Structure 1
Amino acid sequence: MTNETKTSAILHRDTHFVPKKAIGGKGCYVFLEDGTKFLDATGGAAVSCLGHGNERVTQIIKNQMDQISYCHSAFFGTQVAEDLAKLLVDSTGGKLSKVFITSSGSEAVEAALKLARQYFLELPTPQTERTRFIARLPSYHGTTLGALSVGGHVQRRQPFEPLLSKNVSHVSPCYAYRGKRDAESDADYVARLAAELEAEFQRVGPETVCAFVAEPVVGAALGCVPAVPGYFRAMKAVCEKHGALLILDEIMSGMGRCGTLHAWEQEDIVPDIQTIAKGLGGGYAPVSAVLISDSIVQTMDKGTGQFRHGQTYQGHPISCAAAFAVQKTIQEQSLVDNVRTMGAYLETQLRRRFESHPHVGDIRGKGLFWGLEFVKDKATKEPFDPKHGLSYRIQEKGLQPEHSVSLYGCSGTVDGIKGDHLILAPPYIVSKEEIDIIVDTLEKIMKEVFASL
């Protein structure tokens, strides 16, 4: 333990390391205590969609604090919570009719799972045997025990396996780079994955399944992997056949990140339940939400009329003010259009620079949500030995003052242990010039790291 780690009272993510302190931020940049101007190319963890220091958003938060900072939702409501919920419902065209507002992605997933279970208990003839969930390997849905149970991320699950729910099973992801067979069409690949989901329903008993849970674009676990066309239509058809719900986790991929406000808009389906978080409040306050289909709402209303789940900070006025201000700014400045425009430019630059790189196996993503998967051998897709910690070396190299750029490195891409990928998720306000800096800097960092291997 260094002197610095001894004097810090925080249990940091790494007990051997005290991160540099951020003392300010503006636009796509964070300012550090040592004078470094740091380019936030990942928006933290795909959070800072408006960048840092947006004066309009901070003023609206201050105004809310001057009005009221907290009231318990069991006693009172607030106008700002109503305004945010209406904005979100309207953003779905009314396809999802109610909103439950919480504070983090994990909390949203927990609420979604409990809501799915309770829905079946509220039916005129309760379906009490529905206790199971089917999700996908190796997705990540959060750190709390319920969310971790539906997740399939080996490294995050491993220490806590004995504590996790045994009522969850997992099927393959839609991961064309590694999952799609040679000469297999998209349609055939989708049919194979649909057959796998159908087989899993049959294995556990179709009448026992509450919902299938999936990310429209897989985030941290696989590195910005979108589904092939038709995949989600096929998955929803299997769910509907057996009366199960479809829960889409858009915590990382939603709220404009992939080029439409909701990622499911590109899939020609509507989920029964949707979770959102990161881009909802852009990091200006902790906030997440669950969007709920009207059929579930009506069933609850005709049943007990009570969602048997609540949290102290649900619908927190400051969080709602932050999210409402962020979403109104995105609307008024047409920033989802900028996500599409700058996303197309980022894709072009990444492909131009790295498609022929001997150790870049795949470049994939949507909007301003892009991943690079690294391989030791491009022909065989063999990953690097985990002992190299490749993605984290690239991430750490980016943090050094001469580079000063955030690069979100993750491991376990192939099987939960092996495999390295990198995520880029700059703010929606990013410019062409800033994208050029990101790609140029990434190229320099990769040269240094691969040379050191």
Structure 2
Amino acid sequence: MTPSAVLHRHLHQAPTLALSGEGSYISLEDGRRILDATGGAAVSCLGHNNEHVKQAMIDQINQLSYCHTAYFSTKPFEELASLLIESTGGKMSRVYIVGSGSEAMEAAMKLARQFYLEKRNPEPQRTKFIARNQSYHGITIGSLSMGGHKFRRELFEPILLPNVSHVSPCNPYRNRKDSESDADYVARLVDELDAEFQRLGPETVCAFVAEPVVGAAMGCVPSVPGYFKAMKAVCEKYGALFILDEVMSGMGRCGTLHAWQQEDVVPDMQTIGKGLGGGYAPVAGLLIGDRVIKTLEESTGSFRHGHTYQGHPVSCAAALAVQKAIQKDNLVENVREMGIVLEEELRKRLSDHPHVGDIRGKGLFWGIEFVRDKTNKEPFDPKSQLAFRIQDKGLEAKHSISLYGGQGTADGVSGDHILLAPPYNSTREEIVRIAELVQGVVEDVFGELDD
């Protein structure tokens, strides 16, 4: 067999060719038909081969496949931006469309810096960012610097940005003390963030950045009630921006179109991505609040940043079609309804398993954390590669299900989880089938470990 010319994610393991997709399933070259229970990386929110989205892309290609946004705008670009702003109830003001979540985070960082330079009374000393440990915000140098996942960062630490520091995540399973109420826990995290502002110098901080539901790094960990409102209050106290990364958890994935709509807060900026275009084209974006836009309008009127493919017409046409389908078919409500079913089924089947430590999530965004010892929450040795063993087992013909494995769940290095993110239009039967298959995979893997 001729070696692949592709630099795959692992040079020693050539992935199986995927030939086609239909609904919630992907068909492989070797005959397997995989139930795509993760939407890839929480991307395929409408499933595969949606005729409406495909036709919208074909129509746009036939009209105009590309033009440079330095000179022109396009109808799908304008319509998509209007739809997104309307979806926030007008609480956000403008939209910046790019090709990936990493690009969106880079744009947020640069716009935050420029905001302080363009204020009527400029604050050029604001150069620092505060994010959270065990977070993931992208893979470019800037966005990787923002993230707090040890394993992803370790090879590149010497070249990451020195102006990003990290505080504790809000992870009640791992970090809330038995004696603490939710309010007590939030108060402790508020004190930690406040202390970090003080350590850095409050006048030097551009923004605090966080995921409303932590996805890849910890496996669908929501915050406790009141957490984000309290974090935003600290930002407001010191004049810093409040930025939410909804690339994975937003655009309907957690049961509202924007995850912050459940948190009683409005961010100054918000990144969006995966569920925006559903995987039909590379697309992501930055939603920007009026406070930031007004400052630019009153100064240079220009964001000093740009990409060749920003606002790409075909990507915008795809995203617009995806969002119209979500609205037309009331799919965010289906996410909420099927999310209840998925939670019930997972808890019924796995809560009593001796190595299932926690089942958590929102909407159709659920994670399962595995532990060696349920009493003290001891994780498995990272060398066991448990999460990826579960992921690989799921792809075997016997099970034929995609499970998104992740490590570093407990401390950035140790800890294993799998993530589930099925399409928004999943049926009850498909959700029950996912839970059945997950149970079978977990039982098989741990049965092999116990042998």
Give the TM-score band, short-chain normalised. over 0.9
What's the offset of the Cα at 1:433?
1.1
Residue by residue, what CA displacement relative to the aligned partner does 1:177-228 show, whole Å, maximum 9, x if unpaired?
Answer: 0110012000000000000000000000000000000000000000000000
How does 1:19-418 map onto structure 2 within 5 Å?
A: 19-418=15-414
Distance 1:66 1:274 in 2: 32
Determine the C-alpha separation between the residues in 2 that align with 1:38 and 1:452: 22
Task: Report the Cα distance in structure 2 between the residues aligned to 1:19 and 1:425, rounded to whole angstroms.
Answer: 21
Query: For structure 1, which segment, 26-35 or 167-176, has the greater mean C-alpha deviation from structure 2 after superposition?
Result: 26-35
Give, as a single letter, the amino acid of the residue that structure 2 aligns with 1:55.
Answer: E
CA–CA distance in structure 1, aligned partners of residues 223 and 61 of structure 2: 42
The alpha-carbon deviation at position 83 of structure 1 amounts to 0.2
Per-residue displacement from partner, 1:102-146 (whole Å, max 9, x unpaired)? 000000000000000000000011100000000000100000000
Q: CA separation in 2, counterparts of 1:93 and 1:122?
A: 27
Unaligned runs of 5+ in 1: none
TM-score, with normalisation over the residues of structure 1? 0.98
Instruction: Encode CA deviations 1:76-106: one digit per residue, 9 max, x unaligned.
Output: 1101100000000000011001000000000
Deviations 1:159-178 (A, max 9, x none): 00001000000000000001
**Distance in structure 1 (CA, Å) of the matches to 2:446 and 2:397:** 19
| Identity level (%) | 65
Distance in 2 separating the partners of 1:355 and 1:447: 13
Q: Distance in 2 between matches of 1:361 and 1:157?
A: 26
Deviation at 1:70, TM superposition (A): 0.3
Moved more, 229-238 or 434-443: 434-443
Distance in 2 (alpha carbons) for counterparts of 1:269 and 1:416: 28
Q: CA deviation at 1:237?
A: 0.2
Question: In 1, are the aligned partners of 2:97 and 2:310 still within 8 Å (CA)?
Answer: yes
- In 1, Cα distance between equivalents of 2:159 and 2:93: 34
Are the counterparts in 1 of residues 341 and 432 from structure 2 also a CA contact under 8 Å? Answer: no
Q: State how many pairs are aligned.
A: 449
For 1:48 and 1:206, locate their aligned partners in 2 and report how far apart those are by CA, in whole Å. 40
Structure 1 segments, 4+ long, off by >2 Å, are none
The answer to whether the aligner puts 1:425 opposite 2:431 as a matched pair is no
Report deviation, 1:407: 0.4
Amino acid at match of 1:265: Q
For 1:15, the equivalent position in structure 2 comes to 11
SS in 2 for 1:96: coil
Cα deviation, residue 403, structure 1:
1.2
